[in-house]
Amino acid sequence: MKITKLETMFVKPRWLFLKMHTDEGIVGLGEPILEGRSQTVASAVQEIGRFIIGMDPRDVEHNWQAVHRWQFYRGGPILASALSGIEQAMWDIVGKWLGQPVYRLLGGPTRKKVRLYKHCRLQVIDERVPDARSIVEQGFTAIKAGLRGPLRQIDSLAKVQEFERRFAALRATVGPEVDIAVDFHGVASPAMSIRLAKAIEPYYPMFIEEPVLPGNVDELARVARSTSIPIATGERLFTRWGFREVIQKQAAAVLQPDLSHAGGILEVKKIAAMAECYYASIAPHCPLGPISLAACLQLDACIPNFLIQEFVTLGDGYLKQPFEAVDGHIAVPTGPGLGIEIDDDALAEQVYDGSWEHTPSLHEDGSVADF
């Protein structure tokens, strides 16, 4: 079997889908997206295609290593994202060729269903958060809210108290049985993250995500040691080499590799194995499309240290059979490969030329936002 063509499609709202064609008629799906850089990643996919077309897609490890090593500049958000989508498509082909879901080829399932968390707007009305109440009523047992900027390097007591008030209202709304994660987005300085964490510690957050921007693992470790709240990070790290220092220094209890950025399914499985040695959990990052989610579910199904899965779509309007969330969980898929089929008729209405992209946001003072 040989790869004959790599076809990329820009899909609304801001996604990039990949179809990998073979000479035996099997088509593999991948999502090689980087938010705000889909045109750049699409170009990288085609550049890699000049090397990978003609290769056997069943040789996933060999092809991954060949592409990774062939590129003099390794890793990084663009190259790793392009390779991630290509790797997902190869696994989809292998699974379809064998008639097995990908997780069975990676050791088999360790669970029957995958727990999800849903994003929540932290808007307080009468000391309650209506969006959170609605999410819980839908059956979800975990939510995530975000810390919005801007924040000064050392900000006021009033800012800390306001954040605590909002988080307290969120906890009061959902009660003690529902887990609450909070995403700092790298908005706060390490010093402010320590103060904010102390303020919300009594309300038992599930984890704090990105309290420190990538680039200084020692500062991340300092924040982690200052609080009992588990620290999470990883959406802006690429390949196992990007996670090595975070894991070794035990700077995070929860790692959040993105299967469309960090190197693909097998690469993230290797990251999960590294994390397992340090008793760290995996909560894959996925504010992306349904192909990326499908890849995540294959990984979630077969690792022992899975914690929870992020999502923004279940595939309605994109997949012939969208995923179904029941009591905040998705049943482990049983179909071959990634276990999904694209609805080409519905997708035709979503395809565009890639001209619309995310633009950098500005704070009120004119400074560029940190996320």
Pair 304, 109: CB distance under 8 Å: no
Tokens found for residue 6? 């790599």
- Residues β-bridged to residue 53: none
E-only strand ranges, the chain: 3-11, 15-22, 27-30, 113-119, 142-146, 179-183, 207-209, 231-233, 254-255, 281-282, 309-310, 329-331, 351-352
Q: Which amino acid is at 301?
A: A
Q: What contacts 102, CB < 8 A, 6 or more positions away?
A: 91, 92, 94, 95, 265, 295, 298, 337, 338, 339
Q: What contacts 343, CB < 8 A, 6 or more positions away?
A: 317, 318, 319, 320
Query: CA 167 to CA 115: how far, in whole Å?
Result: 22
Q: Is 358 a catalytic residue?
A: no
C-alpha radius of gyration, the chain, whole number: 20
Query: CA 89 to CA 19: how far, in whole Å?
Result: 7
Q: Which one is catalytic: 62, 68, 119, 185?
A: 185
Q: Is 337 helix (H, G, I), strand (E, B) or coil?
A: strand
Q: Is 331 helix (H, G, I), strand (E, B) or coil?
A: strand
What is each CA distance from 320 to 22, 342, 345, 362, in whole angstroms? Answer: 22, 6, 10, 39
Q: Which one is catalytic: 21, 119, 261, 285?
A: 285
Pair 263, 83: CB distance under 8 Å: yes
Q: Is 285 a catalytic residue?
A: yes
Orientation angle between helical segments 76-98 and 60-70, nearest 10 degrees: 160
- The residues assigned a catalytic role are 185, 285
